[in-house]
Amino acid sequence: MNLSLKNNSKILFWILLISFQIIYSQNNTSRENISLNKNWKFHLGSANNPSKDFDYGIVRNFTIAGGGGGAVVPKFDDSAWRTVNVPHDWAVELPFEYHKHFDVQSHGYRPVGGFYPDNSIGWYRKHFTADKAKEGQRFVLRFEGVYRDFKIWVNNNYIGSNFSGYAESSFDITDFIEFSGDNVIVVRVDATQYEGWFYEGAGIYRNVFMETFNPVHIPEYGVYVSSKIEKSKALVEAETTVKNQEGKTVNCSVVSYVIDSKGNKVTKTVTEKLTVKNNEIGKIAQKLSINKPELWDLDTPNLYRLVSIVKKNGITTDSTQTEFGVRTFDYNATTGFSLNGKSMKVKGMCVHQDHAGVGTAVPDALVYYRIKLLKEMGVNAYRCSHNPPSKSVLEACDRLGMMVLDEIRVIGTGKEYFDQFEKLILRDRNHASIMMWSLGNEETGVQNTDLGRRMAHTLVQRQKELDPSRLSTYGGNNGINFKGINEEMDVRGFNYHIKELDDYHKEHPTQPIIFSEVSSMVSSRGMYVKDSLKGYLPDYDLNKPRWGQNAEEWWKFTVERPWLMGGFVWTGFDYRGEPTPFTWPNVNSHFGIMDVCGFPKNTYYYYQSWWTDKDVIKIYPHWNGHKKGDKVNVWCNSNAEEVELLLNGKSLGKKAMPRNGHLEWDVVYEPGKLEAIGLKNGKTIRTAVETTDKAYQIVLTPDRKTIKADGNDVSVINVTVLDSKGREVPDAMNLIQFKLAGEARILGVGNGDPSSHEDDKCLDGKWKRSLFNGKCQIILQSLEKEGEFSLTASSEDLKNTTTIIAVKK
């Protein structure tokens, strides 16, 4: 053989080999996160009748591999099942039903739970195909939240289960993937048992993803990034875990650097070598430095990304980006709380996760909408009450500048609850917004016991191992009591018991204190007379349960005590269930500063007056429905120095606004115009309420005029009515009907009425909702096609209106 030909053949061989490795690498290194939210098949089962539960319980679903029966079998005919997208909450689709049991009441009278076996089991089936080019990669299914206690099969093989409705879960299904045909995921959800004492929904109510990645990869929660500020630098420490599932020991390297929000590299690149045996993990810690870092703050929530790359033989096998922020929280028993050295009060709200129209199945875009409403009020902190939040809540708080108290569902150190706690810390610890961890809420059975102390000690120790950068607290409704859980807390969380707080501080002067829950003031938006039969309360800062405080009472108390960090009001929004102080026909709470749609109640403007620098002036009640000569108690919330009230142009007097207070006048009613004029820093601010005529035309107000054509984005459209003179009618109760055309689907409707039994979900073509005190809401979701949609709102004797929303990629 010619020598040159022989050499050329060797060169060609190596070129082909390297090319093959590069191609193989490209096909096997690209990490993908694919949404599986669309096109699930759904059907109710039964908790006590196998014949209604696709023979579950009498067929062998757990006996041999691949030997299941009923709805688990891939060839099962699910064509008659309903097609749904997730997030999906089947409970919100059910009619209200009265039951005297307290837990049914506290869950909003939706017929789900142990009393309702035929409504409390849900089956989901998802068909998908797998790309042959991905063979050799790992396939992991990730469920961000399923309520609750679900089991999963893939291609007739039982994969596993997850107990809690609030804990994220993942399942490696690599061995069960078929590349030559249809694959079927089957999920059986069991919602017969409650976890909380509030509306919890039912179903796959958070996002679902299929993750694919190389056998040599960064596993879930495999990156932990922390930072601290020293002079003009941020010292960043990155701990990276590598998992090897390749079948042999591998030598690899981990490459790390940091980029800013614009993609600019802001640190040097650091590389560390690592040897990892098969089916084992390896960890490395790397240090980086950011010069003159842009801090994460409430007004400027600057974020960085840690880029983590795993390489083997110089070829990338995996790459992730982890978002984080550079900031400093400080908790001081004498001076209170500070962020980045700036002293401030925690102006927080406790928040449950459900919303009008959709229940617990809140799309990501609607989460952002809700956080923005809280920011607009002046809220700077969000307590996840009382369970781990969705990922989208934390991402929204990171990006919008909202601190978070991240809370576990139940305190415990048995395997189930301890695993849930670990998962909470591992999943969430990189988020810039998280200010503290909460170990639970009002655990009355153990909070004053040595068992409670021992469990709290174990959890705090584990928290500091997994995340030494933060402190822990606990929402204790045990007042001055120190023994038990409170002994172990870095920060003492007080739920109410405001009269015992000063004494507690004197006895424990080195323990920082925060109101982990406070106020519980109750009101119904737009109502001004108590109606115990229908279940309404006046929309003033007046009514509270025996344990609660008015807004003004707790906030004045807080600002007068520098050592008190602030607090979390119960609650930011109304939520389904807990209709304190009423029962049926009430189906949702009155605690919210906003109603379940996010429409402000009047106390919203009290907080906005004293929690923001905005020009705020608000008077109420509205000026309809009173009788001439009646005495009307008029309230004004404002941050003006003084306010003058005028009725039909006649002054009723000026009053100085007390700091952190409000003003009142008793006004003899005359129809017309009631006006408030305030003076703030030399500037005039004003507002008015007027006696209106009857409703004449409908107004649709979308939160945005353009949404994304991704099948996930949401348009929130609020509905009001005007009289013939263009004035909003605040007491209108008209039934509004909706007609949709174009690239969207309707997700749900609501109006904030705590006693409304109207449907949140309607049949296609029959969407409708009554106004409640002048307002209702409709929530729509984009399709995956560009274009637009039009929504027409109509009502008997009213002028119709149409809004058009663009849908773009």
The beta-strand segments (E) located in 640-734 are: 642-647, 650-656, 663-668, 673-680, 683-690, 697-702, 706-708, 714-722
DSSP β-bridge partners for residue 211? 33, 140
Strands ordered across the beta sheet of 697-702: 697-702, 714-722, 776-782, 744-750
Q: Decide if 714 contacts 539 (C-beta within 8 A).
A: no
Q: How far apart are CA 212 and CA 318, in angstroms?
A: 10
Q: How far apart are CA 126 and CA 188, in angstroms?
A: 12
Residue 267: both structure tokens together: 């640190």
Residue with tokens 């050799």, as numbered in its chain: 136
Strands ordered across the beta sheet of 631-638: 617-620, 631-638, 663-668
Q: What is the per-residue burial (b if ≥16 Cβ within 10 Å, else e) of 184-208?
A: bbbbbbbbbebbbebbbbbbbbbbb
H/E element holding 56? none
| Contacts of residue 606, Cβ cutoff 8 Å, sequence gap at least 6 | 541, 551, 552, 637, 662
- DSSP character for 439? E
250-259 and 223-230 as β-strands: parallel, antiparallel, unpaired?
unpaired
Choose the catalytic residue: 97, 272, 442, 758. 442
| Contacts of residue 80, Cβ cutoff 8 Å, sequence gap at least 6 | none
Measured in degrees and rounded to the nearest 5, phi and psi for residue 449 equal -110, 165
Q: How far apart are CA 574 and CA 754, in angstroms?
A: 8
Q: Decide if 722 contacts 703 (C-beta within 8 A).
A: no
Q: Helix crossing, 551-559 with 603-611: angle to 10°?
A: 20
Residue 517 appears among annotated catalytic residues: yes
673-680 and 683-690 as β-strands: parallel, antiparallel, unpaired?
antiparallel
Closest alpha carbon to 594 in 573, 579, 578: 573
Q: Decide if 674 contacts 646 (C-beta within 8 A).
A: yes
Choose the catalytic residue: 395, 517, 675, 690. 517
Closest alpha carbon to 327 in 317, 348, 306, 342: 342
Q: How far apart are CA 584 and CA 578, in angstroms?
A: 11
Q: How far apart are CA 501 and CA 193, in angstroms?
A: 36
Closest alpha carbon to 470 in 168, 228, 222, 223: 228
Residue 272: both structure tokens together: 């560390």
Q: How far apart are CA 683 and CA 679, in angstroms?
A: 6
Q: Decide if 562 contacts 540 (C-beta within 8 A).
A: no
Q: How far apart are CA 389 and CA 594, in angstroms?
A: 20
Interior CA angle at 369 toward 723 and 91, to 5°? Answer: 95
CA distances from 480 to 477, 495, 505 (A): 9, 11, 9
Q: Decide if 28 contacts 136 (C-beta within 8 A).
A: yes
Measured in degrees and rounded to the nearest 5, phi and psi for residue 19 equal -60, -40
Closest alpha carbon to 447 in 480, 412, 486, 410: 486
304-312 and 315-324 as β-strands: parallel, antiparallel, unpaired?
antiparallel
Q: Is the backbone of residue 66 left (phi > 0), alpha (psi -120 to 50) or beta?
A: left
Residue 487 appears among annotated catalytic residues: no
Residue 197: both structure tokens together: 């004492």
Measured in degrees and rounded to the nearest 5, phi and psi for residue 211 equal -105, 135
> In this structure, how many other beta carbons lie within 10 angstroms of the beta carbon of residue 457?
14
Which residues are the active-site residues?
Answer: 442, 517
